[in-house]
Homo-oligomer: A and B are copies of this chain.
Amino acid sequence: MAKAELSKRQKNILTYIDSYMDDSGRPPTIREIGKATDISSTSVVNYNLNKLREKGYVMRDAEVSRGLRLTEKAQKLFGSVRVTLEETLVRLPLAGNIVAGEPIEVGNDAFATYDEDDAVEIAASMLPPRHDNLYALRVSGDSMIDAMVNDGDIVILRKQETANEGDMVAAWLMDDGTTTLKHFHAEKDRVRLQPANRTMDPIYVEPDALQIQGKVVMVIRQT
């Protein structure tokens, strides 16, 4: 990918798209952009729009008239920056993916060095009183449907290695190397892991064959 720098032409195009949408409520066509920015050929506009897409400033819907959208990245150029108040909104790092068969890897640095784009924002009122050590993971694959968690869902976890009775935890089963989300129940000399789906049966494991990766605080599905 090319550098993120924008040519004068591309800046003009972005500015025009933004003002056009403000005025009319719809995106401009390629020819309208060309006319406004003194570009005589539609292919040149098309070319620059694809460049802008590669650089993350616009989204395009193929073969759709006015199939243009400014991304948040582009809108930030025009000064509409969101202010986050610590008390009302909590921003969590989207630290990676959960994939069955792999333990969750969250380095400590994940809390310090995550990107703007890879963050999840949650209202503080929806979370437990303390927000420390929380992080988010995106579920990849269908391996957790028995935990009522879909491919693409976002799981918010508190990092901890122990669990209390009844907690929903992310657990790594060393026996078969899978990571699952289950309710944790300590029994006499074993651990019962109960699926969230009440129609399914629990599994039992030795405490030593279990590594708790975190406590599930919330699951979010965007459709």
Q: Which residues of A contact B (CB under 8 A)?
A: 21, 24-27, 29, 61, 65-69, 82-89, 120-126, 142, 145, 148-150, 167-168, 196-199, 216-223
Q: Hey, which chain B residues are within 8 Å of A196, CB to CB?
A: 150
Task: Specify which of A83, A221, A222 lies most central, judged by the most chain B CB atoms within 10 Å of its CB.
Answer: A221
Determine whether the beta carbon of A126 is less than 8 Å from that of B220. yes
Could you tell me if B121 and A199 are in contact, using CB atoms closer than 8 angstroms? no
Known contacts A65-B65, A66-B65, A198 near B145 by CB under 8 Å:
yes
Give the CA-CA distance A69 to B26 in the complex, in Å: 8
Give Cα A66 to B61, complex, Å: 15
CB–CB A65/B145 < 8 A:
no
Residues of B within 8 A of A85 (CB): 85, 88-89
Is B61 a contact of A24 with CB atoms below 8 Å? yes
Complex Cα distance, B223 from A83, in Å, reads 22
Within 8 Å by CB of A221, from B86, B87, B122, B219, lies B219
Chain B residues within an 8 Å CB radius of A27: 25-26
Kindly list chain B residues whose C-beta atoms are within 8 Å of the C-beta of A218: 220-223
> Nearest-CB distance from A142 to chain B (Å)?
6
Q: List 16 A-B contacts (CB under 8 A).
A: A25-B69, A26-B67, A82-B124, A85-B85, A88-B121, A121-B123, A122-B122, A122-B126, A123-B123, A126-B222, A145-B197, A148-B221, A150-B196, A150-B197, A217-B223, A220-B221
Q: Are B122 and A123 in contact (CB under 8 A)?
A: yes
Known contacts A66-B66, A89-B89, A148-B221; 20 additional CB pairs below 8 A are A24-B61, A25-B27, A25-B69, A26-B68, A65-B65, A82-B88, A82-B124, A82-B125, A89-B123, A121-B125, A126-B220, A142-B198, A142-B199, A148-B149, A150-B196, A167-B223, A216-B223, A217-B223, A219-B223, A220-B221
